[in-house]
Each structure stands twice: as structure tokens, then as C-alpha cells.
Amino acid sequence: MAVNETEAAENSMEILEARFIHLLMKKEYRISRSIRMQWFLEHLNKTITVPHLVDLSAASGTQDELEPELKVLSVIPHEQPPEWKPESSHMYKYLVTAHSTIIFLTHNYCIVYCLDMSPSLSAVVSAVKCKFMLQRLMLL
């Protein structure tokens, strides 16, 4: 009986076109661009749902091997109805289209800084500004 009620509730959900979709990548390993593209192509012109906030916080504590590689965190619709709020986003279905922007999030990010001291740096700026620029870089 509960399964039929759940199916009836899912069928009665309003379908909105997804503008931004936030996906969380699995923590254990790096997910390649091909898997990301595969997710997009598998879900293109299909509907997705957002898990309830309580379900997300309960699942974040458990590291299950059967956990999907990409988990839907949130979706922002293209045209928001007046009653739509981020807190109630789980009450809608969202259509993934070619115009949807997929944002992949990860648990860890690596940032690399590169300081370019090559001659091409001074070629971009005029001779007067170049000397000043190189002197400032040496002071850093």
C-alpha cells in the first residue's frame, strides 16, 4: 500500500525544466570526464528528482559501496513557480535538457599557482611598464 502511495505522489509531481543541476562526486576516487558526460547523456530529456534534505544528511554519514558515483544534490529550475523554494525542491521533478548546466562538486579540490617569469611576460607590456612589472615581481 505504501509503495502505491509513493508512486502516486511521484506521478503527481510537477515537472520543471532544470537550469542548474548540482551533482556530488563520490569521495573515494576521481571521476573522469567520460563518466560525467555519460551521466548527462543518460539523463538527457529525462526527469530527475532531488532527495529530501533529511535523506541527504543521513546518507552523508554512511559510505556505502553501492552509493552512486554521482549524487544529485540540488536543482534550480529555469522558470521557478511562485511556490518553489530550495527547501521544497524535493517536491518537484526536473527535466534535464541540452540547456541545463551541470555543476560537478567534489569533496576535495586542488589549486595550483604558477608564476610566469618567462620573457613572454615582458613582451605583453610596453618597455616602460615591463621594467616596473619585473621589479615588482622580484620583490614578491
User: Which of these, 22, 110, 109, lies nearest to 70 by C-alpha position?
Assistant: 22
pTM of the model: 0.66
Percent share of the chain, pLDDT over 90: 34
Mean pLDDT lowest among 7-11, 78-82, 115-119: 7-11
Concatenated DSSP letters for 22-41?
EEEEPSSSPPPHHHHHHHHH
3-state SS assignment for residue 42:
helix
Q: Which residue has the higher pLDDT, 8 or 69?
A: 69
Residue 66 burial (C-beta neighbours within 10 Å; 0-12, 13-18, 19+): exposed
pLDDT band per the 50, 70, 90 thresholds, residue 27: confident
54-110, pLDDT tens digit by residue? 665 555 555 556 677 889 999 999 999 999 888 888 899 999 999 999 999 988 777
Q: Which residues contact 96 (CB under 8 A, 6 or more apart)?
A: 18, 21, 40, 43, 44, 45, 46, 47, 48
Which residue ranges make up each domain of the chain? 2-109, 110-140
